[in-house]
């Protein structure tokens, strides 16, 4: 934490709570620890988002390849057969493709949501630990 930020924090605590802290006060160490944990949380979330984006791009690429192949098959079938039955088959194939894609994307989203929720719980527990530590410091120093 930079000296300017630290000085600003010390002044704010003094003005709001009437307590003057020194730069080596354990409370400020807890504040710095909390900032570090928040930074780590931010990095973890950024990493999860990057992984999610990569998964989505990969799925989109696979879906695009699959859809192109399916579309080519359907176009050839339509050129060879101009009957209602083939039109119904092509509609069913497109619906199946859409459904499979939706199921795959929903599964990936659920998995990433689960991972994000776990990260949030860990961060919440870390914040509670910081709070408990700060309370213990105050109790011990009082």
Per-residue model confidence (pLDDT) at position 114? 86
Give the pLDDT confidence of 88-137 residue by residue, as tens digits.
777 888 888 888 888 888 888 888 888 888 888 888 888 888 888 888 88
Other CB atoms within a 10 A radius of the CB of residue 57 amount to 10
Residue 47 in this model has a pLDDT that exceeds 90: yes
Check: pTM over 0.75? Answer yes or no: no
Alpha-carbon distances of 117 from 30, 40, 125, rounded to whole Å: 25, 15, 12
Per-residue model confidence (pLDDT) at position 82? 67
Question: What kind and span of H or E run contains 92?
Answer: helix 84-141
Per-residue model confidence (pLDDT) at position 87? 66
């Amino acid at each position: 934490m930079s000296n300017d930020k630290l000085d600003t924090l010390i002044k704010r605590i003094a003005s709001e709570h009437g307590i003057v802290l020194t730069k080596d006060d354990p409370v400020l160490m807890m504040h710095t620890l909390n900032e570090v944990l928040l930074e780590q949380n931010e990095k973890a979330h950024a990493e999860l988002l990057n992984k999610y984006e990569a998964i989505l791009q990969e799925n989109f690429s696979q879906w695009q390849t699959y859809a192109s192949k399916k579309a080519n098959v359907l176009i050839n079938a339509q050129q060879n057969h101009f009957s209602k039955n083939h039109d119904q088959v092509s509609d069913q194939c497109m619906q199946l493709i859409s459904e499979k894609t939706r199921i795959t994307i929903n599964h990936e989203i659920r998995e990433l949501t689960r991972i994000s929720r776990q990260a949030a719980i860990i961060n919440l527990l870390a914040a509670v630990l910081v709070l408990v530590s700060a309370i213990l410091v105050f109790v011990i120093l009082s």
